[in-house]
Structure 1
Amino acid sequence: MIGEKNFYHGLLFSVEAIIFGLIAALLLIYYRGIGRQYVTYWMVSLFSLSAHQICLAIESQLTDLSVVALEKVILTGLTQLSLYFHLSALLLGIYSAVSKNIISKKITNSTFIFSTLLALTATLLYGFEVNEVYNRFYLRESLPAFVMGCGLLLTAFYLYNLPKKYFSVHIFIIYSLFMGLRYILFSFLSIVLINEYWFRPLAEVLIYFDMGAFTLLAFTMLIWMQGAERSIATSAMNKAQYLGKHDSLTGALNRQQVMEKLPLIIEQTASNQQNLAVFLLDIKGFKFVNDTYGLKVGDAILGEIARRLDESIFLPQVVGRLSGDSFVFIIDGVDEKQQAAAIEHLHGLISRPYHIKQHKVLLQCSVGYCLYPEDGRLAEDLLQKANLALAQAESQNVATVKYKTGMQSHGRRLLAMEKEIRDGFENNEFVLYFQPQLNLLNNRIEGFEALVRWQHPARGLLQPASFLPDIESLNLLSDLDSYVLDLACQTVARLQKEYHRRVTIAINITAVEFQDPQLIENIQALLFKYQITPRCLDLEITENVVMTEIATAMDTIVILQNMGIKVSIDDFGTGYSSLAYLRKLPIDKIKIDRSFIEEVASNDSDLTIVKSMVELSHGLGKRVLAEGVETEEQLRVLRNIGCDAVQGYYISKPIPEAALKKYFTR
Structure 2
Amino acid sequence: MYRKNSILIVDDSISGQKVLNAFLKGEDYYIEFAANGKDALKKAFEIKPDLVLLDVILPDMDGFEVCKRIRNNPYTSLMPVIMVTALEDRESKIKGFQSGADEFLCKPLDALEVKARVRTVLKLDRFRRLLYDHSTGLPNDMLFIDYIDNIMISQEQSMASQFAIVAVKLSNSMFLNNYLSKINDQQMLKGLVEKFQNGREDVKIISYNKEGNFTILLDSAGPEQAARFADNLVKAFANPIEYLNGELLVSCKIGISLYPQNGSTGDELVNNARLANEEKNKEKFYIRFYDEQLERNYKNHVEIATNLFKAIDNREFVLHFQPQIRADNHEIIGMEALIRWDSRDYGFMYPDFFIHRAEENGTIINLGNWVIKDSMRYLAELTHNKKISTSVSVNVSALQFNDPSLETRILNFAGLYDLVPETIKIEITESAIMANPDEAQKKMYSLKEKGFKLSIDDFGTGQATLAYLKDYPIDEIKIDKVFVQNFLTQKVDYEIVKHIIELAHTLDLRTVAEGVEDEKHVVLLENMGCDIMQGYYFSKPVGENEMTKLLLTQPFLKK
- Provide the TM-score with structure 2 as the length reference: 0.51
1:342 is displaced (CA, Å) by 13
C-alpha distance in 1 between matches for 2:489 and 2:280: 40
The CA deviation string for residues 320-361 of structure 1, in whole angstroms up to 9 with x for no partner, is xxxxxxxxxxxxx99535779999xxxxxxxxxxxxxxxxxx
- Matching residue of 1:581: 468
Residue 533 (str. 1) matches residue 420 (str. 2)? yes
Give how far 1:268 is off: 2.7
Equivalent pair of 1:489/1:530 in contact (CA under 8 Å)? yes
**What is the deviation of 1:498?**
3.7
Local SS of the residue matching 2:552: coil
2:256 paired residue among 370, 383, 391: 370
The letter of the residue matching 2:197 is: A
1:271 is aligned with what amino acid? N
For the residues of structure 2 that align with 1:572 and 1:413, how far apart are their CA atoms? 33
Q: Distance in 1 between matches of 2:170 and 2:422?
A: 37
Segment drifting more, 412-421 vs 649-658: 412-421
Deviation at 1:483, TM superposition (A): 1.1
Question: Which residue number in structure 2 is paired with residue 446 of structure 1?
Answer: 333
Amino acid at match of 2:256: C
Map 1:305-454; keep pairs closer than 5 Å: 336-337=223-224, 369-370=255-256, 385-386=272-273, 388-389=275-276, 402-403=289-290, 413=300, 416-454=303-341
Provide, for residues 555-591 of structure 1, a one-character-per-residue CA deviation record: whole Å limited to 9, x for no partner: 2222222222110001111111111111111110001
Q: How far apart, CA to CA, are the structure 2 residues paired with 1:382 and 1:571?
A: 38
Q: Does 1:568 align with 2:495?
A: no
Compute the displacement of 1:388 (Å).
Answer: 2.0
2:195 to 268, 289, 293: 268
**Separation of aligned partners in 1, 2:201 and 2:258:** 9
Q: Does 1:556 align with 2:443?
A: yes
Q: Encode CA deviations 1:241-288: one digit per residue, 9 max, x unaligned.
A: xxxxxxxxxxxxx98369899997874352152889xxxxxxxxxxxx
Distance 1:274 1:649 in 2: 58
Aligned to 2:401: 514
Tell me how far apart the structure 2 counterparts of residues 453 and 502 of structure 1 sit (CA, whole Å). Answer: 25
Equivalent position amino acid for 1:621 in 2: D
Match of 2:171 in 1: 256
| Distance change in 2, residues 1:390/1:272 (3 Å) | closer
**Is the radius of gyration larger for structure 1 or structure 2?**
1
Which of 440, 445, 469 is matched with 2:356 structurally?
A: 469
Return the alpha-carbon distance in structure 2 between the equivalents of residues 577 and 498 of structure 1.
41
> Which of the residues 469, 477, 481 maps onto 1:594?
481
Contact 2:514 2:533 in 1 (8 A): yes
Distance 1:445 1:340, change over 3 A: same
* Structure 2 SS opposite 1:531: coil
Change (3 A) 1:542 1:551: same
1:401, CA displacement in angstroms? 8.5
Counterpart of 1:561, as a letter, is: K
CA contact 1:499–1:664 (8 Å) conserved in 2: no
2:525 is matched with 638
Alignment-derived partner of residue 380 in structure 2:
493
Contact 2:259 2:269 in 1 (8 A): no
Counterpart residue type for residue 496 of structure 1? T
Structure 1 pair 340/549, CA: closer, same or farther in 2 (3 Å)? closer
The residue correspondences of 1:107-126 to structure 2 (distance < 5 A) are none
**Displacement after TM superposition at 1:550 (Å):** 2.5
What is the CA distance between 1:545 and its match in structure 2? 1.5
Displacement of 1:486 in angstroms is 1.0
Q: CA deviation at 1:481?
A: 0.9
Deviations 1:371-418 (A, max 9, x none): 599999xxxx99974452489999xxxxx994389x987776555434
RMSD (Å), alpha carbons: 4.1
Q: Deviations over 1:422-443 (max 9, x none)?
A: 2111121111111111111232
SS at the partner of 1:665?
A: helix
**Per the alignment, in what secondary structure is the counterpart of residue 655 of structure 1?**
coil
- Tell me the alpha carbon deviations over residues 54-94 of structure 1, each in whole angstroms, 9 at most, x when there is no partner: xxxxxxxxxxxxxxxxxxxxxxxxxxxxxxxxxxxxxxxxx
Q: Deviations over 1:625-661 (max 9, x none)?
A: 1111121112211111111111111121111112112
SS at match of 1:598: helix
CA gap 1:480/1:534 in 2 versus in 1, 3 angstroms: same
Distance 1:576 1:340 in 2: 33
Match of 2:543 in 1: 656
Query: Are the equivalent residues in 2 in contact too, given 1:392–1:410 (CA < 8 A)?
Result: no
Q: 1:511 to 1:382 in 2, by over 3 A?
A: farther
Which of 495, 511, 516 does residue 624 from structure 1 map onto? 511
Preserved CA contact (<8 Å) 1:573 1:593: yes
1:480 deviation in Å? 1.3
| Residue 370 of structure 2 corresponds to residue 483 of structure 1 | yes
Distance (Å, rounded) in 2 between the aligned partners of 1:387 and 1:660 = 45
Are residues 260 and 393 of structure 1, via their aligned partners in 2, closer, same or farther at CA, if it must alter by over 3 Å?
closer
Structure 2 counterpart SS, 1:660: helix
**How has the CA–CA distance of structure 1 residues 448 and 387 changed in structure 2, closer, same or farther, with 3 Å as cutoff?**
farther
Q: Distance in 2 between matches of 1:411 and 1:446?
A: 43
- d(CA) in 1 for partners of 2:280, 2:467: 46
CA distance in structure 2 between the partners assigned to 1:373 and 1:257 by the alignment: 29
1:635 is paired with a residue of what secondary structure?
Answer: helix
Cα shift at 1:460:
1.0
Work out whether residues 597 and 606 of structure 1, in 8 Å CA contact, stay in contact via their aligned partners in 2.
yes
SS at match of 1:434: strand
Match of residue 523 from structure 1: 410
Change (3 A) 1:633 1:561: same
Q: Give the TM-score normalised by the residue count of structure 1.
A: 0.43
Bigger mean CA deviation after superposition, 257-266 or 423-432: 257-266
- Rounded Cα–Cα distance in structure 2 between residues aligned with 1:423 and 1:476: 10
For the Cα contact (< 8 Å) 1:440–1:639, is it kept in 2? yes
Greater fraction of residues in helix: 1
Map of 1:239 onto structure 2? none
Structure 1 gaps, min length 5? 1-253, 277-332, 344-366, 395-399
2: distance between equivalents of 1:387 and 1:256?
A: 14
- 3-state SS of 2:357 partner: helix
Query: In structure 2, do the counterparts of structure 1 residues 617 and 373 end up closer, same or farther at CA, with 3 Å as the change threshold?
Result: farther
Query: What amino acid is the match of 1:594?
Result: K
CA distance in 2, matches of 1:434, 1:560: 23
Aligned pairs for 1:125-204 (under 5 A) are none
Could you tell me which amino acid in structure 1 is paired with residue 171 of structure 2? Q
What CA distance in whole angstroms lies between the structure 1 residues aligned with 2:175 and 2:227?
28
Query: Aligned partners of 2:478 and 2:423: how far apart in 1?
Result: 18
CA distance in 2, matches of 1:549, 1:270: 34
* Cα distance between partner residues in 2 of 1:527 and 1:662: 24
Deviation at 1:662, TM superposition (A): 2.2
Q: How many angstroms apart in 2 are the aligned matches of 1:392 and 1:446?
A: 41
How many residue pairs were aligned? Answer: 324
Give distance in 2, aligned partners of 1:393 and 1:605: 28
CA contact (8 A) 2:323 2:547 kept: no
Instruction: Determine helix, strand or coil for the equivalent of 1:501.
Output: coil
Q: How far is the alpha carbon of 1:523 from its aligned partner?
A: 1.2
Unaligned stretches of 5+ residues in structure 2? 1-168, 177-187, 204-219, 231-252, 282-286, 554-559
Encode CA deviations 1:459-485: one digit per residue, 9 max, x unaligned. Answer: 210111111121111022211110111
* CA distance, structure 2, for counterparts of residue 503 and residue 473 of structure 1: 34
